[in-house]
């Protein structure tokens, strides 16, 4: 907006108060610099006229480095409101075709993918994260996102067919869970594309050579389907599977996948811990690791819960104490072998056809009673015996209580008679 237009706008708005478009461009650009990039892009779009970008909008866009656009940097509620039309307008206004290197769509759960069409001719794009979740977030989205596999795969095919600089893709969990032939065909094309790029290992600097059953992208349904191997999802460096490039001088992995967020990180980009319960790796920002109270080895949240006895409240790893996780649906309690011995209940059925674990006699009985077609008589017999013993103990306690009440009554009656 030139100065004459600003003066005209200021004059016309004097009667109604100052409007944001009356502010100097330098001040507006300064305000936008404090915003996350997606917010700055939206801010610039609000400055546009109905027909073309204004000088103010252009100033905001030109003052920002648009190599990275991460929608995970804004509030989830705002990201969820963005439409394909808004995404398309933003990508066009920032010159995504020539400028954008990294696009992350965290929180954009209500777009179909049509708004990404401008990327078909992108020349600088290196990473597109379609997982729709933010950094260090589990890829679980409810309700399921609207991102269309058909629409987006068509765009991705155009991108890789141009042989540009694409290095890494992340896909929505929904696509991985509902694998189909077309998606699998794309994964094969993308894997072949990555192999054709002759990317080099960042450790040994040799071209990564895929051996035998290995592949850049997992295309078989078992394991980590549709996950990309050899590439850190943060720095985009590549790592081959030679032994010296898998482990560093301390014997630690150079690059591993986090069990919670499922992203692949190298040791330079994320500090990771390994759970001694499930043996999974976790980013430190993905979960709060808990220590075994005896050996101080680390357990993830899930394993710590499974290894904490509901009787003594002690948390111990499998090497320090045997424990049993209740198999009754809806019961998440565990009991350690010390308490099994001292309490006289809990443990595991020794019948080969059963081998169910339980935290109490009640749960043992209910767990076997759930499936009437496959009732374990060993469990039912043991439960009946335990219930009988408890009933006898309870009956004895009641008799002792009644006797005590009777003795107390007689005592006070004698006191009254003496008076």
Tell me how far apart the alpha carbons of residues 230 and 202 are, in angstroms, rounded to a whole number.
10
Q: Which carries the bigger pLDDT value, residue 415 or residue 361? A: 361
The average confidence (pLDDT) of the chain is 88
Percent of the residues in the chain that have a pLDDT greater than 70, as a whole number: 91
Query: According to the model, what pLDDT value does residue 95 have?
Result: 95
Prediction pTM value: 0.80
Alpha helices in 207-291 (DSSP H): 243-246
Whether residue 11 has pLDDT greater than 50: no
Q: Is the pLDDT of residue 404 over 60?
A: yes
Six-digit token pair at 216?
Answer: 């850049």
Question: Which residue would you say has higher pLDDT here, 249 or 374?
Answer: 249
The 10s digit of each residue's pLDDT in 22-63 is 677 788 888 889 999 999 999 999 887 666 788 889 999 999
Reduce the secondary structure of 334-391 to three states and give it as a string: EEEHHHHHHHCCCEECCCCCCCCEECCHHHHHHHHHCCHHHCCHHHHHHHHHHHHHHH
Instruction: Pick the more confident residue, 75 or 284.
Output: 75
Q: What is the pLDDT of residue 417?
A: 60
Model confidence at 144: pLDDT above 70: yes
Is residue 212's pLDDT more than 90?
no
Identify the H or E element spanning 303.
helix 301-306
The DSSP element (H or E) to which 84 belongs, if any, is: helix 84-93
Pick the residue with more confidence: 9 or 260? Answer: 260
Q: What is the pLDDT of residue 261?
A: 93
For residue 12, pLDDT over 50 is answered with no
Q: How far apart are CA 331 and CA 345, in angstroms?
A: 16
Banded pLDDT at 91 (limits 50, 70, 90) = very high
Average pLDDT over residues 117-124: 94
């Amino acid at each position: 907006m030139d100065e004459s237009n600003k003066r005209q706008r200021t004059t016309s708005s004097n009667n109604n108060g100052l409007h944001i478009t009356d502010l100097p461009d330098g001040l507006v650009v300064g305000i936008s610099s404090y915003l996350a990039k997606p917010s700055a892009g939206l801010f610039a779009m609000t400055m546009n006229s109905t027909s073309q970008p204004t000088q103010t909008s252009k100033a905001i866009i030109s003052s920002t480095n648009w190599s990275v656009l991460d929608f995970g940097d804004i509030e989830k509620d705002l990201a969820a409101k963005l439409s394909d039309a808004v995404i398309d307008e933003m990508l066009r206004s920032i010159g995504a075709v020539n400028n954008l290197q990294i696009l992350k769509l965290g929180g954009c759960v209500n777009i179909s993918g049509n708004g990404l069409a401008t990327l078909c001719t992108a020349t600088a794009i290196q990473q597109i994260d379609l997982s729709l979740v933010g950094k260090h977030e589990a890829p679980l989205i409810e309700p399921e996102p609207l991102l269309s596999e058909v629409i987006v795969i068509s765009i991705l095919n155009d991108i890789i067919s141009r042989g540009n600089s694409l290095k890494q893709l992340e896909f929505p969990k929904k696509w991985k869970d509902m694998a189909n032939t077309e998606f699998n065909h794309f994964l094969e094309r993308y894997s072949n594309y990555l192999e054709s790029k002759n990317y080099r290992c960042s450790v040994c600097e040799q071209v990564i050579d895929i051996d035998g059953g290995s592949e850049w992208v997992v295309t078989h349904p078992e394991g980590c389907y549709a996950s990309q191997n050899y590439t850190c999802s943060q720095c985009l460096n590549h790592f081959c599977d030679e032994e010296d490039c898998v482990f560093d001088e301390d014997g630690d992995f150079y690059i591993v996948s986090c069990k919670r967020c499922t992203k692949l990180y190298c040791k330079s980009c994320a500090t990771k811990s390994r759970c001694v319960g499930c043996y999974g790796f976790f980013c430190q920002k993905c979960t709060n690791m808990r220590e075994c109270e005896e050996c101080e080895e680390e357990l993830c949240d899930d394993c710590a819960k499974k290894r904490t006895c509901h009787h003594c409240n002690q948390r111990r790893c499998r090497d320090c104490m045997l424990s049993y996780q209740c198999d009754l649906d809806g019961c998440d309690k565990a009991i350690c072998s010390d308490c099994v011995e001292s309490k006289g209940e809990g443990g595991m059925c020794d019948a080969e056809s059963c081998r169910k674990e339980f935290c109490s006699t009640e749960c043992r009985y209910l767990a076997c009673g759930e499936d009437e077609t496959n009732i374990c008589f060993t469990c039912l017999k043991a439960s009946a015996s335990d219930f009988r013993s408890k009933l006898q103990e309870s009956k004895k306690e009641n008799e002792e209580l009644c006797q005590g009440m009777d003795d107390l009554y007689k005592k006070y009656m004698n006191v009254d008679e003496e008076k």
